């Protein structure tokens, strides 16, 4: 790159006046509400973090020590780990202004494939897991190709893929569950992510640790690599990104491949969580992952939000579910409140986006 030596054109008084009105940036005269809007705009994960802290405090006050124990708080992490991992995949897709309805199906089929490879073809668990993970990536690849090159809407492609993958899952597994004891005896590696680490009263599973690691690795990748910046640019304005030199199609395909891979990984973690391999498990993973992403403040219109927000969003759902259960309320209240949260989250997103006007 050449460092061109160029003297700034000297300003006549007229010129300066023009510049002030054109290129100056007003930092003052901002109301409280506006500065709040700006802060939230800069740090999109702040809203879910505030909601999370408030809900923790409210449930803590209502339930006291019953809620504020390291056991209960880590139990929440265990309960949201699977949805959170799938939510990480969903976040990537939604950042590109897409949506992936097939995440849950890919997760379940991948776990079934891992089981079938071990128990019906007698492969070692390591190989079975590798095959399961590649199948997840392959399904994501098909999604990505159809979306990027056939220009089909992501909603339709993944809606179709959801049905196709789920049906394949039932056909392939003949709707049979592989029992937990068998897995434990023959292929304990499949249950790896269910293993627990006790630190005082706190219980962490490897699945929880994997969830946290995935979120932080993706947060790093999205913020500090060119690929990550391109994911945002593609979701923000694909034409602009293309003209600026981003290979938008490659980015979209790579996002769906990575999403498929992460979902397959969630399938592995799912075996650890429930012990067995069941083709009927994880039915609601797609809706729950979208919920976590939306409550986490990631815009469904793409290009805005952070994966840390999704992390907080998943935890909010976990806190509500467990908190309300401990209070002994009807579980329907959980769904009702989560519905309210979803709509509020999108309303806040719209408000924050109005900053440019």
Give me the residues that bind another protein (CB under 8 A), please. 1-4, 6, 8-9, 11, 15, 18-25, 27, 41, 221, 224-227, 229-230, 232-233, 236-237, 239-246, 303-304, 355-356
φ/ψ (deg, to 5) at 143: -50, -50
Whichever of 11 and 280 has its CB closer to another protein, that residue is: 11
Which lies closer to another protein via its Cβ, residue 163 or residue 224? 224
- Identify the three-state secondary structure at position 203: strand
Tokens describing residue 210: 């994997």
Q: How far apart are CB 294 and another protein at their closest, in Å?
A: 17
Smallest gap from Cβ 354 to another protein, in A, equals 10
| Cβ atoms 250, 166 nearer than 8 A | no
Minimum CB distance to another protein, residue 99 (Å): 18
Phi, psi of 81 (to 5 degrees): -55, -45
Nearer to another protein, 155 or 220 (CB): 220
Buried b (16+ CB within 10 A) or exposed e, 263-287: bbbbbbbbbbbbbbbbbebbeebbe
CB of 26 to another protein, least distance (A): 10
b/e string for 195-210 if b means 16 or more Cβ within 10 A? eeeeeeeebbbbbbeb
152: phi > 0 → left, psi -120 to 50 → alpha, else beta; which?
beta
Q: Which is nearer to another protein, 273 or 304 (CB)?
A: 304
Q: Is 204 helix (H, G, I), strand (E, B) or coil?
A: strand
The minimum distance between CB 41 and another protein, in angstroms, equals 7
What is the smallest separation between the CB atom of 219 and another protein, expressed in angstroms?
13
Contact 303, 235 (CB under 8 A): yes
Shortest distance in whole angstroms from residue 303 CB to another protein: 5
CB nearer to another protein: give 1 or 33.
1
- What is the distance between the alpha carbons of residues 346 and 341, in angstroms, rounded to a whole number? 9
Nearer to another protein, 48 or 238 (CB): 238
Instruction: Output the DSSP codes for 151-184.
Output: ---HHHHHHHHHHHHHHHHHHHHTTPPBPHHHHH
Residues in Cβ contact with 342 at an 8 Å cutoff, skipping those fewer than 6 apart: 291, 294, 295
Per-residue tokens: 161 = 């893929």
Measured from the CB atom, is 2 or 332 closer to another protein?
A: 2
Task: Write down the least CB distance from residue 18 to another protein, Å.
Answer: 6
DSSP 8-state assignment for residue 225: S
Q: Smaller CB distance to another protein: residue 25 or 328?
A: 25
């Amino acid at each position: 790159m050449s460092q061109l030596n160029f003297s700034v054109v000297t300003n006549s008084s007229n010129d300066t006046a023009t510049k002030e009105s054109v290129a100056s940036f007003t930092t003052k005269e901002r109301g409280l509400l506006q500065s709040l809007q700006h802060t939230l705009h800069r740090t999109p994960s702040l809203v879910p973090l505030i909601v999370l802290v408030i809900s923790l405090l409210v449930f803590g006050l209502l339930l006291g020590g019953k809620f504020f124990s390291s056991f209960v708080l880590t139990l929440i992490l265990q309960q949201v780990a699977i949805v959170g991992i799938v939510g990480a995949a969903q976040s990537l897709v939604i950042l590109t202004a897409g949506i992936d309805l097939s995440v849950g199906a890919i997760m379940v089929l991948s776990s079934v494939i891992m089981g079938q490879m071990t128990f019906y073809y007698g492969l070692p668990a390591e190989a079975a897991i590798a095959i399961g993970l590649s199948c997840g990536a392959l399904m994501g690849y098909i999604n990505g190709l159809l979306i990027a090159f056939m220009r089909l809407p992501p909603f339709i492609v993944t809606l179709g893929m959801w049905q196709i993958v789920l049906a394949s899952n039932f056909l392939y597994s003949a709707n049979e569950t592989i029992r937990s004891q068998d897995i434990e005896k023959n292929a304990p590696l499949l249950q790896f992510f269910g293993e627990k680490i006790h630190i005082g009263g706190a219980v962490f599973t490897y699945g929880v640790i994997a969830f946290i690691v995935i979120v932080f690795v993706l947060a790093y990748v999205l913020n500090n690599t060119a690929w990550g910046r391109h994911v945002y640019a593609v979701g923000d304005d694909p034409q602009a990104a293309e003209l600026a030199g981003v290979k938008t199609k490659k980015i979209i395909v790579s996002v769906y491949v990575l999403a498929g891979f992460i979902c397959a990984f969630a399938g592995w973690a799912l075996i650890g969580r429930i012990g067995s391999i069941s083709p009927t498990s994880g039915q609601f993973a797609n809706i729950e992952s979208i919920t976590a992403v939306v409550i986490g403040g990631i815009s469904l219109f793409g290009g805005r939000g952070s994966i840390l927000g999704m992390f907080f969003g998943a935890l909010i759902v976990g806190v509500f579910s467990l908190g309300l259960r401990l209070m002994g309320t009807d579980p329907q209240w959980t769904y009702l409140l989560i519905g309210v949260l979803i709509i509020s989250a999108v309303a806040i997103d719209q408000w924050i986006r109005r900053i440019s006007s």
